Amino acid sequence: MGLEDKIRKVVPYVPGEQPKESGVIKLNTNENPYPPSPLVREAMERLQADRFRLYPDPAASELVSELARTYGLDESQIFVGVGSDDVLAMCFLTFFNSDSSILFPDITYSFYDVWAELFRIPYEQIPLDENFRIRPEDYMRKCGGIVIANPNAPTGRLLPVPEIEKILKANPDCVVIVDEAYIDFGGESALPLISRYGNLVVVQTFSKSRSSAGLRIGYAMADPKLIRYLSDVKYSFNSYTMNMPSIKLGAAVLRDSAYTEKCIAKIIRTRENTAAALRKLGFILDDSCANFLFIRHPQIPAEELFRGLKERKIYVRWWNKPRISSYLRVTIGTDSEMEAFLSALRCLLTDRK
Ligand code: PMP
């Protein structure tokens, strides 16, 4: 066996581009177009650089206790990590440890199969139906675990909580992860079910509705027993995942829920106006419950629009993948960013005539 054969080789997840050029309208990674609450700036001024010589609190207690207060939970029901990517990766490592395949949709967050490959977890991708809907009955069979993004990405489609409950009921012997990265933009959270279902893990993030992708904060909420297993794995991997500024600033974000609500309301309004304008331009799209739209034009290839927009310094997301290559995923920005996006599309459509 040579050197090459002993090395773990993986095909990494490819995140959306983070362009270096200036003047870009960035609608490609579902960030929030609004800055975080002014309370975060104040908390930043209170940070003491002298304290950076110390390790941060491994339990991130200040953040966990604000999360507990925010959701009316006990601290033992919460686990935090470096973005929900870190939390989800820890969940895969902890909860998906059998020989049976875990299940997730064929069209979903494209990190799931990367973690499954990395951790050598067998998996099966279950096709969404022709309208990109999850059929709960497809998840009612023997398996090693289930992960569902709700609303799903990149479709923006929501699975109602009673449907999730059916999946939980049918799978008492395996963990069901519900990735609620986009839940605050119009969905009902499965969170209330954690007290009744010891197999449910709800994962959320500060990156979208809380305007803090740069702080890298995510969290899981579940029965204390599952949280303990998760913490044991995390402490066997890296005790100090959350850095001190993120713990403090994340707690400040949570102290201003009124501000967060206001930004969410603005984004939802902009989303609905943008959706209506896109339909007028001939685009086909379903209602979205997230901070993005998943759109296609019946005549114009998505790749052509993607490139045309990029030339105009407007970045959206396009995947050259089966079933979704005719779609663009467009993050909801400010009203003026979406106006610029729509007028660029109008130009691209006119140029083609
Ligand atoms: N889940 C889904 C469905 C996502 O789209 C994203 C964003 N890329 C994440 C999780 C991870 O977000 P973060 O690590 O920033 O919390």
φ, ψ at 197 (rounded to 5°): -120, 105
pLDDT at residue 351, as a whole number: 85
296, 283 contact by CB (below 8 A): yes
Residues with CB under 6 A from ligand 1: 83-85, 109, 149, 153, 179, 181, 205, 207, 213, 218
219, 210 contact by CB (below 8 A): no
pLDDT at residue 352, as a whole number: 79
Distance 216 CA to ligand 1 centre (A): 10
- Environment class of 67 (CB within 10 Å of its CB; exposed 0-12, middle 13-18, buried 19+): buried
- Comparing CA positions, the residue from 258, 296, 310, 272 lying closest to residue 16 is 310
Ligand 1, atom 12: nearest CA belongs to which residue? Answer: 84
In this predicted model, what pLDDT tens digit does every residue of 297-308 receive, in sequence order?
999 999 999 999
Neighbouring C-beta atoms of residue 59, cutoff 10 Å: 17
Report the distance separating Cα 219 and Cα 26, nearest Å: 26
43, 251 contact by CB (below 8 A): yes
Q: Which two tokens stand for residue 60?
A: 């991130």
193, 200 contact by CB (below 8 A): yes
Residues of the chain with pLDDT under 70: none
Q: Which two tokens stand for residue 107?
A: 């069209």
Dihedral, CA atoms, 123, 128, 133, 139, nearest 10 degrees? Answer: -40
Q: Which two tokens stand for residue 47?
A: 């940070």
* 117 to 10, 11, 112, 143: CA distances (angstroms): 7, 8, 9, 17
pLDDT at residue 348, as a whole number: 96
Report the distance separating Cα 240 and Cα 255, nearest Å: 24
Distance 84 CA to ligand 1 centre (A): 6
Mutation probe of ligand 1 site: the residue of 31, 85, 217 with most atoms within 8 A of C-beta: 85
Query: Domains, the chain, ranges and CATH?
Result: 4-35+258-352 (3.90.1150.10), 38-256 (3.40.640.10)
Q: Is the pTM of this model over 0.95?
A: yes
User: In which element (H, E) is residue 204 found?
Assistant: strand 200-205
Mutation probe of ligand 1 site: the residue of 27, 67, 84 with most atoms within 8 A of C-beta: 84
147, 180 contact by CB (below 8 A): no
Q: Where are the alpha helices (DSSP H) in the chain?
A: 38-46, 61-71, 83-95, 112-118, 161-170, 224-235, 244-254, 257-280, 302-311, 335-352
127, 159 contact by CB (below 8 A): no
Ligand 1, atom 1: nearest CA belongs to which residue? Answer: 181
